[in-house]
């Protein structure tokens, strides 16, 4: 494998890790809120969070361009990440966000809410209940959600291309390199990259599935 493949692999890994970390806290909070709230807004928020799953990635990328561009609200506020690796992280995080929210919501829903009430009845604050009861009991499900989000970010293409471009050594991920190789007729290297990404995707899904099963067994 040549240097371009290793470079794309390293950038993909960095972007996927960054995207997973970026969406971990907000997606966990939103997942918890969705699992516990009785608000009338629950359905609307749940649907909005799932939108990146069904919208074409190019549409999401276009919306991100509108937000992050020089005329966009975030661009004007000095958040300049277009055509950078940070932009790739942002695009991947947005695409991974729905999967992490879904997984987190399922993980929290599997934690018996009465255990939280019992913690409060024993004098614990809500923050202490969340830290010492809810999060530990949901941890495997949360980890599975983050692993799935990592996998989604690893394979992200459309939104990343629009926001971060395809700059070798800077924003060129494996997905983008496969696309470029096919465009330029470098089928052998494209096949190698496809094999590599398939192995990674299998490992991620297998790991996430094992975590989810163990979480379900614990919750029973």
Partner 1 sequence: MKCRVRLPLADFAVDVDVETSARAVGVFGASGAGKTSLLECVAGWRRPASGRVEVNGRVLFDDAARVDVPRADRGVGYVPQDGLLFPHWTVERNLRAAARGRGVPEDALATAIEVLELAPLLARDVATCSGGERQRVALGRALASKPDVLLLDEPLGALDRPLRRRVLPYLVRATRAFDLPLLFVSHDATEVQAVCDHVVVLERGRVVAEGDPASVLGAAERAGTDFENLLSGTVRVGEDGCALELGGGVRVEVPARDAIDGAPGLYGLRADDVLLAREAPRGLSARNVLEAVVEALDADGQDVLATARLVGAGDPAEDVAGPNTDASQRAPRLRASLTAASVRELGIAAGARVFLVFKTQSCHRLG
30-45 residues labelled b (16+ CB within 10 A) or e (exposed): bbbbbbbeeeeeeeee
Between CA 135 and CA 32 the distance in angstroms is 10
Which listed residue (43, 44, 73, 117) binds partner 1 by CB under 8 A?
117
Tell whether residue 198 is a contact of partner 1 (CB under 8 A): no
Tell whether residue 124 is a contact of partner 1 (CB under 8 A): yes
* Helix residue ranges per DSSP H, the chain: 3-36, 42-54, 57-68, 73-76, 85-109, 113-121, 126-129, 135-154, 158-164, 174-183, 187-219
Tokens 């609307």 correspond to what residue? 44
Which listed residue (57, 87, 98, 119) binds partner 1 by CB under 8 A?
119
Tell whether residue 136 is a contact of partner 1 (CB under 8 A): yes
Residues in binding contact with partner 1, number by CB under 8 A: 18
Tell whether residue 1 is a contact of partner 1 (CB under 8 A): no
Quick one: which segment of 9-17, 87-95, 123-131, 182-190 binds partner 1 (CB under 8 A)? 123-131
Question: Nearest-5° angle of CA 131, CA 132, CA 133?
Answer: 105
Look up residue 101 and give its two tokens.
Answer: 């929210």
Tell whether residue 118 is a contact of partner 1 (CB under 8 A): yes
Using alpha carbons, select from 9, 16, 1 the residue that is nearest to residue 169. Answer: 9
Quick one: which segment of 60-68, 96-104, 118-126, 145-153 binds partner 1 (CB under 8 A)? 118-126
Tell whether residue 133 is a contact of partner 1 (CB under 8 A): yes
Task: Work out how close the CB of 24 gets to partner 1 at its nearest, in angstroms, rounded to a whole number.
Answer: 21
DSSP class of residue 111 equals S
Tell whether residue 137 is a contact of partner 1 (CB under 8 A): yes
Give me the half-sphere count of Cα atoms (radius 13 Å) on the Cβ side of residue 179. 16
Quick one: which segment of 16-24, 54-62, 76-84, 130-138 binds partner 1 (CB under 8 A)? 130-138
Tell whether residue 132 is a contact of partner 1 (CB under 8 A): yes
Interaction site with partner 1 (CB under 8 A) = 112, 114-115, 117-125, 128, 132-133, 136-137, 218
């Amino acid at each position: 494998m040549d240097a371009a493949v290793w470079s794309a692999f390293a950038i993909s890994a960095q972007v996927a890790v960054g995207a997973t970390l970026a969406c971990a806290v907000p997606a966990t909070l939103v997942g918890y809120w969705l699992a516990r709230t009785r608000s009338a807004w629950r359905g609307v928020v749940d649907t909005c969070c799932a939108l990146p799953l069904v919208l074409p990635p190019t549409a999401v990328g276009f919306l991100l361009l509108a937000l992050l561009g020089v005329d966009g609200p975030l661009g004007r506020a000095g958040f300049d990440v277009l055509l950078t690796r940070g932009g790739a992280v942002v695009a991947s995080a947005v695409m991974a966000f729905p999967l992490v929210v879904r997984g987190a919501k399922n993980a929290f829903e599997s934690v018996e809410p009465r255990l939280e009430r019992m913690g409060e009845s024993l004098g614990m604050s809500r923050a202490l209940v969340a830290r010492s009861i809810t999060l530990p009991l949901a941890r495997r499900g949360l980890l599975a959600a983050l692993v799935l989000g990592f996998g989604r970010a690893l394979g992200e293409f459309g939104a990343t291309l629009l926001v971060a471009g395809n700059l070798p050594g800077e924003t060129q991920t494996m997905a983008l390199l496969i696309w470029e190789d096919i465009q330029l007729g470098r089928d052998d290297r494209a096949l190698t990259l496809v094999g590599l990404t398939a192995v990674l995707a299998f490992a991620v899904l297998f790991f996430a599935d094992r975590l989810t099963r163990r979480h379900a067994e614990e919750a029973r």
